Amino acid sequence: MVLGKQATHEFAYGVTTNNTHFGSTHNPWSLGAIPGGSSGGTAAAVAAGLCTVGIGTDTGGSVRIPAAACGIVGLKPTYGRVSLHGVIPLSPSLDHVGVLGRSVEDVAITLSTIAGYDPLDHYSSPVDVANYVDGLQTPVKGLRVGVPKQFFFEDISEEVAVAVQQAISDLAGQGIEVVEVSIPGLDECMVAQYAIVMAEAASWHWPLLREKGHLYSPEIRSVLEAGGILPSLHYLSAQRVRQRVVERIDQAFTQVDALVVPTLPTVAPSIGADTIDASVYGKRESVTDALIRLVCPFDQSGHPAVSVPCGWTTAGLPIGMQIVGPHWRESLILNIAHCYEQGHDWRKRRPRWPESTTA
């Protein structure tokens, strides 16, 4: 049963869920922090125990970002696995519908319900759907997971690095072979991500902007208008970068069964913060850049990726680990995530609510 709609960043175009029209969404683990976005309302509701699972969209990380920030599980399936019919697009060539839940099993059950070919969705694929729930019990011993030696562990906080490395060691303790892999050129992803999203979002919104532009927030209207004048050369160049990203990640999967990387370089920033302080990992970075940096490559490549909690900071904020698989191998990454999850009590933790709160 659908309980209702949750808060989101305006038109899913942002990572904070600070919505000009409806106000900010608070992270249940720290009410002064963002829940991530754009599916931050769903993540906050699941983390707070208001619902068991929820649906979100992931164009540049918008399911996995709030999952990591709120200490829950967030799955972005393979591009085309879940129908986009009825979803207002942000960037149609990057948009994915995903699931947020308290446990890997809850996410697997939900994915089994929503996955599959839909003739009403131009981007939907007829690839067979696996039994995701039964697949959770498949032995993981002997699987090979790759840990990229560049990009993902650069410019991240020490607490995140320690937690993810410990989680990787825990997987090795389950009989999974951990190997180092190289995926060059992922630093190109950020510029390509912005160009693709700006152009495609502007294309869809342009008629509405002309008729009802005054109803948009100034923030969203400005980025949409900028996308409307983005040179086609930039868009086409970004798509060529994207193709290289797909090829390089596919190449990594000729060596390993899955990849394991951090979901975010740091924990949830404070509501209203525009930048990550240089003291966190040595350089100042915008909140948007920081939160999409490690997740957007897999939106561009279309590979399935799941974020699972892998620890909490000393300040009590969640840390997420991202498990990524070859196209159409959701069952594999959910299996690995479930195996890891069973060895920890992360999914049983609940935020402690103060006696009184101020919205």
Structural domains of the chain sorted by starting position, each given as residue range(s) with its CATH number in brackets: 10-348 (3.90.1300.10)
Distance CA 308, CA 318 (A): 10
Residue 357 has pLDDT above 80, yes or no: no
Residue 38 has pLDDT above 60, yes or no: yes
Is the separation of the CB atoms in 195 and 234 below 8 Å? yes
Per-residue pLDDT at 267: 97
Per-residue pLDDT at 103: 97
Q: How confident is the model at residue 1 (pLDDT cuts 50, 70, 90)?
A: low
Which residues, 6 or more positions from 119, have their beta carbon under 8 angstroms from its beta carbon? none
Nearest to 172 by CA among 150, 194, 152, 145: 145
Per-residue pLDDT at 9: 94
Terminal C-alpha separation, the chain:
28
For residue 81, count other CB atoms closer than 10 A to its CB.
25
Per-residue pLDDT at 115: 98
Rg, Å, the chain Cα set: 19
Residue 359 has pLDDT above 70, yes or no: no
Distance CA 333, CA 107 (A): 12
Q: CA 201: distance to chain centroid?
A: 19
**What value does the mean pLDDT of the chain take?**
95
Mean pLDDT value of segment 153-166: 97
Residue 354 has pLDDT above 80, yes or no: no
DSSP string, 248-260: HHHHHTTT-SEEE
Q: Are strands 275-276 and 18-19 parallel, antiparallel or unpaired?
A: unpaired
Residue 161 has pLDDT above 90, yes or no: yes
The 10s digit of each residue's pLDDT in 56-93 is: 999 999 999 999 999 999 999 999 999 999 999 999 99
Mean pLDDT value of segment 99-123: 97
Per-residue pLDDT at 353: 66
Distance CA 105, CA 143 (A): 20
Residue 215 has pLDDT above 50, yes or no: yes
Which residues, 6 or more positions from 310, have their beta carbon under 8 angstroms from its beta carbon? 163, 164, 166, 167, 319, 320, 321, 340, 344, 346
Residue 346 has pLDDT above 90, yes or no: no
The residue with greater pLDDT, 355 or 259, is 259
Q: Are strands 23-24 and 18-19 parallel, antiparallel or unpaired?
A: antiparallel
The 10s digit of each residue's pLDDT in 175-211 is: 999 999 999 999 999 999 999 999 999 999 999 999 9
Residue 308 has pLDDT above 90, yes or no: yes
Per-residue pLDDT at 356: 43
Q: How confident is the model at residue 348 (pLDDT cuts 50, 70, 90)?
A: confident
Q: Are strands 144-148 and 258-262 parallel, antiparallel or unpaired?
A: parallel
At position 209, the amino acid (one-letter code) is: L
Distance CA 290, CA 225 (A): 24
Order of all β-strands in the sheet with 53-58? 53-58, 96-101, 73-76, 305-312, 318-324, 258-262, 144-148, 177-181
Mean pLDDT value of segment 152-177: 97
Q: How confident is the model at residue 129 (pLDDT cuts 50, 70, 90)?
A: very high
Per-residue pLDDT at 358: 46
Sign of CA dihedral 105, 316, 262, 48: positive
Report the predicted TM-score, pTM, of the whole model to 2 decimal places: 0.96
